[in-house]
Amino acid sequence: MNIGIIGSGGMGSCLASKFVKLGHIVSIANSRGPASLKKLSEDIGAVATTVEEATKNKKVVIVTIPQKNVKDLPKNLFEHLHEDVVVIDTGNYYPSLRDGVIPALDQSGIDSLWVQQQLGIPVVKVFNSILAESIKDMGRPKGEKNRIALAVSGDDTKSKEVVFKLVEELGFDPFDLGNIAQSWKQQPGSSIYCRDINLEELKKRLDAMGTAWSEMRDLIIAQRKADEELMKVDYPAYLKGLPH
């Protein structure tokens, strides 16, 4: 499968490396241009390219950049895509820690719903609620009791089916959380965010959240803000303190 990845940070680099090892053809791009990716591309076997080229003739395009940079992507970047192309969003909104306040996103409160509106194309949200280190080291064969489960949300059923297969290939159990409007359940501040939990526990925590964003919004945003403050002071302590 031809996969384009926009973003070469921890998650983008990790996914590129893993997908190359699984036999996919991977192109990776960032805002600094292909020359800045020469060593990375040589190390992992991905093709360094421009952001525009990363979207051409691909089956899957993964957008894995800070939320604040989404609006800086080239205008009409996704206009040429065939309707069968799957666009994945791995992003999270951290206004205090990294992104600054984005008023329109603050208003809706649902990260990937805002991203979908910015890109002008349906997206599937996945890989946002797991650390790159966990993707790198904690994939397990299907059927293992403690295999980590990943939430997947999006409006297009066929696109999600493609994503489910990729998640399975990486060694994780995909779970269909629902449409993109339900993706708040996997955002920072939720009880499944960056928890390495199995499918049974994932379902239990999702059920506990219910379906109404209006009822959970204040609680999840408050927890995200608290997490941001801790990450500013001591990121390793934040990770260590996550209740799994």
Rounded distance between C-alpha atoms, residue 218 and residue 209, angstroms:
12
At 97-136, the pLDDT tens digits run 899 999 999 999 999 999 999 999 999 999 999 999 999 9
At 32-65, the pLDDT tens digits run 999 999 999 999 999 999 999 999 999 999 999 9
Confidence of residue 145 (pLDDT cuts 50, 70, 90): confident
Enter the pTM of the model: 0.94
Rounded to an integer, the average pLDDT of 187-212 is 95
Confidence of residue 233 (pLDDT cuts 50, 70, 90): confident
Cα–Cα distances in angstroms (integers) from residue 219 to residues 102, 117, 135, 212, in the given order: 19, 25, 28, 12
Strand partners of residue 178: 153
Helix ranges (H only) for 57-131 are 103-108, 111-119
Domain residue ranges in the chain: 66-241
Rounded distance between C-alpha atoms, residue 67 and residue 113, angstroms:
12
**What pLDDT is stored for residue 80 in this prediction?**
87
Average pLDDT in the chain: 94
Confidence of residue 75 (pLDDT cuts 50, 70, 90): confident
Confidence of residue 236 (pLDDT cuts 50, 70, 90): low
Q: Which residues neighbour 233 within 8 Å (Cβ) at sequence distance 6 or greater?
A: none
Strand partners of residue 86: 60
**What pLDDT is stored for residue 58 in this prediction?**
96
Higher pLDDT, 75 or 25: 25
Tell me which of 132-146, 202-216, 221-235 is least confident.
221-235
Sign of the four-CA dihedral 214, 216, 219, 221: negative
Contact of 198 with 148, CB cutoff 8 Å: yes
- CATH number attached to the domain at 66-241: 3.40.50
